[in-house]
Each structure stands twice: as C-alpha cells, then as structure tokens.
Amino acid sequence: MIRLFVTHDLAPGARLGLNPDQSRYVIAVMRRAPGDALLVFNGRDGEWRAVVAESGKRGAVLQVEAQARPQTQGSDLDLIVAVVKRARLETIVEKACELGVRRIRLVLTERTNPDHVRLPRLNTIATEAAEQTGRIDLPEIFEPVRLAVLLESWAPERRLLFCDEAGDAPPVMDALAGQPKGAWAVLIGPEGGFSPAERARLRSLDQAVPGTLGPRILRADTAAISALTLWQSVCGDWDDRNLMC
Amino acid sequence: MIRLFVTHDLAPGARLGLNPDQSRYVIAVMRRAPGDALLVFNGRDGEWRAVVAESGKRGAVLQVEAQARPQTQGSDLDLIVAVVKRARLETIVEKACELGVRRIRLVLTERTNPDHVRLPRLNTIATEAAEQTGRIDLPEIFEPVRLAVLLESWAPERRLLFCDEAGDAPPVMDALAGQPKGAWAVLIGPEGGFSPAERARLRSLDQAVPGTLGPRILRADTAAISALTLWQSVCGDWDDRNLMC
C-alpha cells in the first residue's frame, strides 16, 4: 500500500491536492486511478486511509476517508552525528529514520571535515524513509552546531550513549543493560575519532554512557546503525516489554 | 597506517611488487616514499609490517619486515542474502565485511528480482572494506544459488537466524539469548519478503531460529546490519566473554 507524507490537516472527507512530485508518483509511476486506496500521514493527526478522487492534468486529488492509526511517537531518542561525507550522511539519515530516531542533531567536531550540508535534501530523504518504513512521525533534523556548544546546554535528564573505541568501555549491549529508559541520545563521532579534549569532556559528562562496538573499525554509517539497533533492542521499542516504559 | 591486501606469500625479507592500482594509491594518493612503513595481509600469513623499497615508473615494491599479528579467523558466521538491487547489495557486502562475516552466500528466492551480480566487483568492495576495518581475513563470496537448494544440503551443526517479520517470533536479541555459539548463518530475505512456502520451509528447519527486528519495516541493508550487530553482540566477538567459545 502506498504511504504518503502530506502537510494538510487530516479529517474525514478532507480533500488533498498532491504536489507535482507526489502526483506523478501516484498516477504515472504507481498507476493508481480514481477510487484506488492509499495511506496518508502528516505527523500530527495519525495515519488515514484515502482514495484517489481526481487524477487530471493539474495533478492528483485525494479524499480522506477514515483514520487507520492514531498519532503516536516513538522513543525519545536523539541521534547526534558528526557531519561526515555527503553520501554517508544521507545513508545515516535514512537509517536513523528506519530505526525510529526522533531527532537528528548534526555536529561539528575538532576532526570534522565539514561537507556542505543541504538540510532540505536530508529532510526529503527522511520523509521518503518514513513513508517506506511505516512511521507516522518524521524525525526532526537540526542545523549543524559545534559539539562543545551542544554539550554546554545538555539536558540533565537525557542520557548519552557515546561510542568510545579508544578506552576501556564495555560492549554497548552491556553498557546499556540496566540503564533507565526515557530520554536518550546516541552520539557518533567523525571517522577520524574524537580529539583527546573531546573525549575527556564527554567522559566527564554525568549523563554519558561509554560503550564499544566490537574489535573492528566501523565506518560512521555502520556505527550509527549498530548503536541504534542495540539501543532499540535494550532500551527502545524493539523489545515489546519496553512499550510501557 | 595504510593496510593493503596482497596475494603474495609473506615472510621476513620478501619483496612484493604492488599492482598498478595499489602502486598509484600508495605513491600518488597517499604520497608514501621509500622507507615509509605500511601493513600488508594475505588472509593466510597474518599481518606484516612492510616498507616501501622502490617507487619507480614500474610501480611500487614493498619489502616485508616483521609480523605484526598472527593469522586469526573471526566467528564461523555466514551471511545469506537475497540478491537485491545492486547499490544495496554492495552496501551489504561492505557492511558484512566490517561486521566480521566469514562467508557471504547470495540466494535467489521466489520474490527476488535478480539484478545482475558482478562477483569481481563485490570482491573488490569486500577487499577494500577488510583493509579499512582492520580484518586480516577476507570474507568469501559465493555465486547466487536458489534458497531451496541451499536449504536442502543444510549442515546439521549450523544454526540459522532467520528474520521473520510475518509471524510471532521474539525479538532477535531474545531469540539469540542462551543459544549455543559455534557455526551460524544469518538470513536476510528480499524486500518483498519470503513466500508462504519459503517461510514454512524455513520454519520447519531444525536449525532455524526466527526473530524480529522491531516494529518498523527495514530495508534489506538495514536489516542485515542490525541482525549481524545483534548476533555479534550476543553470540560473537563483540562480547569479549565469547572469545574463548
């Protein structure tokens, strides 16, 4: 079933004019015709069943029928990721969306070679990933800030899983076991690693939970997916016992 | 430190003529000069320290000095993966190498839309990933076979983690907890999922261990990385308590 993210308010009987890209996708690529059903969501009103009402030269119009799922949010999980090369950063955004991250915060570190970040492109990737993965909310993506600035105003209740290959940290799965649920962030550094000053600052943060990801060197996109997988398995919604936490 | 996979035998004093691609990388890209050190491995003799001995028009020649690490192998882990679109399959091969897979077996399933598989290209990707990730062995990649054929001759001692989103399987982390170590395979299906007949066949296999990867739909590359991460964390070498198993 086609799922589309729309910006319109969703309610029974609402009519939604799709934008040119979505119209082309629904009509020309997926060959849907008037009367065919699909699903729409806007991140506020849950997921709704809709049908194609018009498919003319001015694009497709949908008519909203009934709510399929009420609005929910996933875990209160931030991914904080150093700006890496564009292709890897795009992969990380797609995968973070599939893995249920609520916010993506881009950071600049001492060893970051900042590539130009195109936030609209990253938002498009996140939207398409949300449509495909079955999410009914979109991750929010923030403009890059310096890591030091982010840590200065760190919220006291948010724990920070910090992948630290240089020290004596336990495996991430062990580091997370027994930790409280609630607000968390996962931090993935640049491919050159953190500087000694950054590591010391991270280690000194009360909320920091250091962990390692095995004996081999992982690229930034692999490290992000692996750390998010372990977090969701131990503290998040991959473990159905955690749904009520 | 530069790491290179070579096919030569490695022993003290051995001289290795690099191929044109490697010569260009070492001399022109990384700007190494005679006397500079790097690391070489061939998958048989461990990892060795070598120095650039010549860097002329006919390419670079290395001289092997001393062994840095003896030959070891990672876990006895196969990744069995349906042939998916080329870009995603290439990502899966790169990530499987970073995540310590020993063999990659490509399979055709009922819902596979087989893209053309270029095994030499996949081997190049695996070699580059091994150089970058610090492995001293290379994963072996096999020509595609039908899934049914692979299952017919399944080795009795090899367990099979099978990601089954359609049933009532437990989360992968729970499915793996308490399982014996030893020989394993992780199976990742095509994006259209397994057919009912394939699921029944997999479920009927004595060695099959079904598990789920959370409430969202994952693309094949994400599912592969997530499942391999959980396997390495519970049964493999990401948990240092398992190193002796």
Burial of B164 (0-12, 13-18, 19+ CB in 10 A): buried
From CA A46, how far away is CA A41, in angstroms rounded? 6
CB pairs under 8 A between A and B: 102
Contact assignment for B133 to A215 by CB distance below 8 Å = no
Percent above pLDDT 90 for chain B: 87
Q: Mark yes or no for CB contact A98/B219 under 8 Å.
A: yes
Residues 6+ apart with CB under 8 A from B149: none
Whether A229 sits inside 8 A of B225 (CB atoms) is: yes
B188/chain A closest Cα distance in angstroms: 16
**What's the CA gap between A42 and A137, in Å, rounded?**
7
Residue % of chain B over a pLDDT of 70: 98
Residue A241 — very low, low, confident or very high, per pLDDT cuts 50/70/90? low
Q: Helices (H) and strands (E) in chain A — how many of each?
A: 7, 11
Question: A233–B134: do the CB atoms touch at under 8 Å?
Answer: no
Task: Please write the tens of the pLDDT for every residue from B176-217.
Answer: 999 998 999 999 999 888 999 999 999 999 999 999 999 999
The per-residue pLDDT of chain B, averaged, comes to: 93
Question: Is residue A214 scored above 90 in pLDDT?
Answer: yes
- A242 and A181 in contact (C-beta within 8 Å)? yes
- Determine the pLDDT at residue B243: 46
SS3 content of chain B, % helix, strand, coil (to 5): 30, 25, 40
Residues of B in contact with A218 (CB under 8 A): 98-99, 133
Contacts of B237 in chain A (CB under 8 A): 214-215
CATH 2.40.240.20 location in chain B:
3-69
Is B238 in CB contact (< 8 Å) with chain A?
yes
**Exposed, middle or buried, A117 (CB in 10 Å: 0-12/13-18/19+)?**
middle
| Torsion A218-A221-A225-A231 (CA) sign | positive
Neighbours of A244 (CB within 10 A): 6
CB B66 within 8 A of CB B89: no
Residue A243: is its pLDDT beyond 70? no
Spatial separation of the C-alpha atoms in residues B231 and B127, rounded to whole Å: 23
Asked whether the beta carbons of B211 and B189 are under 8 A apart, the reply is no
Task: Tell me the residue length of chain B.
Answer: 245
Each residue of A65-93: pLDDT tens digit? 999 999 998 899 999 999 999 999 999 99
CATH 3.40.1280.10 positions along chain B are 77-242
CB atoms near residue B13 (< 10 Å): 7
pLDDT digits (tens, 9 = 90+) for A49-63: 999 999 988 899 999
CB-based contact A215 B230, cutoff 8 Å: no
To 5 degrees, how large is the angle CA A100–CA A103–CA A108? 125
The pairing of strands A140-146 and B208-211 is unpaired
pLDDT band at B234 (very low <50, low <70, confident <90, very high): very high
Tell me which architecture the domain covering A77-242 has in CATH: 3-Layer(aba) Sandwich (3.40)
In this complex, do B99 and A133 lie within 8 Å of one another by their Cβ atoms?
Answer: no
User: Average of pLDDT values for A203-214?
Assistant: 95
- The CATH fold assigned to A3-69 is Ribosomal Protein L25; Chain P (2.40.240)
* Strand duo A59-69 + A140-146: pairing: unpaired
Integer Cα distance of B206 and B190 in angstroms: 22
Give me chain A's average pLDDT, please.
93
Give which of A226, A240, A244, A242 is closest to A99, Cα–Cα.
Answer: A226
What distance, in Å, lies between the first and last C-alpha atoms of chain B?
31
Query: What is the structure's pLDDT at B116?
Result: 83
Within 8 A of A232 by CB-CB distance, chain B residues are: 214
- What does the pLDDT read at residue A89? 95
pTM of the model: 0.94
Relative to beta strand A47-56, strand A37-41 is antiparallel
